[in-house]
Structure 1
Amino acid sequence: MAGRVCPPWIGYFLLNPLRKLFENPDKMLGQFVRDGMVVLEPGCGMGYFTLPLARMVGPEGRVVAVELQGKMLSVLGRRASKAGLSDRIELRQAGAEGLDVEDLSGEVDFAAAIHLVHEIPDQGAFFAQIWKALKPGGKLLVVEPKGHVSLDQFEKTVATAKQTGLKRETLPGKAGNRKALLIRPQI
């Protein structure tokens, strides 16, 4: 799965509380996540979105946080423990071949790929893995920063996702991001 990889030191920068002024996890994700859901977060980093997602899914829900870098997962594990959310978060280290989520086939209610897809060399394989993990009716939110991803690149990414069978619902971009909500159709 590795392409361009965000160095671990940037993970600390991304945890800055001031980030909530322009990327508030509750506002960005709250409309999609409910108690008891299974949420997949590939490219979770040190958990800026993971901990709020774990609060949103409640004690009956689960967040599967997938990250390529062990250092990032280690920091996330400590943060989850300190926040009392370890029982809601399952940490997984992605491999060179993919997300390692085959066992989640058809279980995921919602997936959030935030500031990630532009770093993945084989986006088709990535979206195919997400599609398999999603339940029919499950949703994937793709968010990319305008500073890294042009509109043309973003539209190509969405077209790649649609080739797996996902259907697009456009969301308004905000705070320097491009967003698309993709849905696995009901059977």
Structure 2
Amino acid sequence: MQMKEVASINVFQRGNEVLNFLETNSADVVISDLQMPEMNGIQLTAKIHEKFPNIKVLILTIDDEPPKIRQAISAGASGYLLKDTDKTELEEAIKKLHQGLPYYSEKVLKIITTGEKDKSLIDKELAQLSAREIDVLKLIAQEYSTNEIADLLFVSVNTVESHRKSLMKKLDVKNVVGLIKFAMRHKLVE
């Protein structure tokens, strides 16, 4: 089967817009991010898979968490790429999906088979933290209170709070649970 020239590319901000478009138009491949307003990419993938089983969905996202990747595949995604992919790999993925074959980048395959991110990605995430922030993060993940952390590190309670806020901002997490998940994912605690 030879791939047709791309007749048109339509860009939508919301999943419902995609579904409305597909009701009256044909498509071979839909490229979706996981992060969208109102309906995320996993929900969109599941709806496309249910309503339009011949349309292939390629997830193109920054989200490299193993559970998200598995959820997307379970929802019916035929391909999954991270946004750091180059143009050649994106074209290859679209061709494979158009041929009815799945396509997952090497990074994604490694993540879903081992459950771990590439070590260089982990090192990059940890590299943005100071040694003292890592100490505070480890103690938070071990369920020490702010006062206990301050005592253990010989610093003030305000200093511990400052480190906690800095960690949350740098790691883009909303609460202490997010910090603990990060610490566990990066094997900072057992």
Measured against the shorter chain, the TM-score band is 0.3 to 0.5
* Structure with the higher helix share, 1 or 2: 2
Structure number with bigger Rg: 2
Structure ranking higher in strand proportion: 1
Q: What TM-score do you get using the length of structure 1 for normalisation?
A: 0.33
Q: TM-score under structure 2 normalisation?
A: 0.32
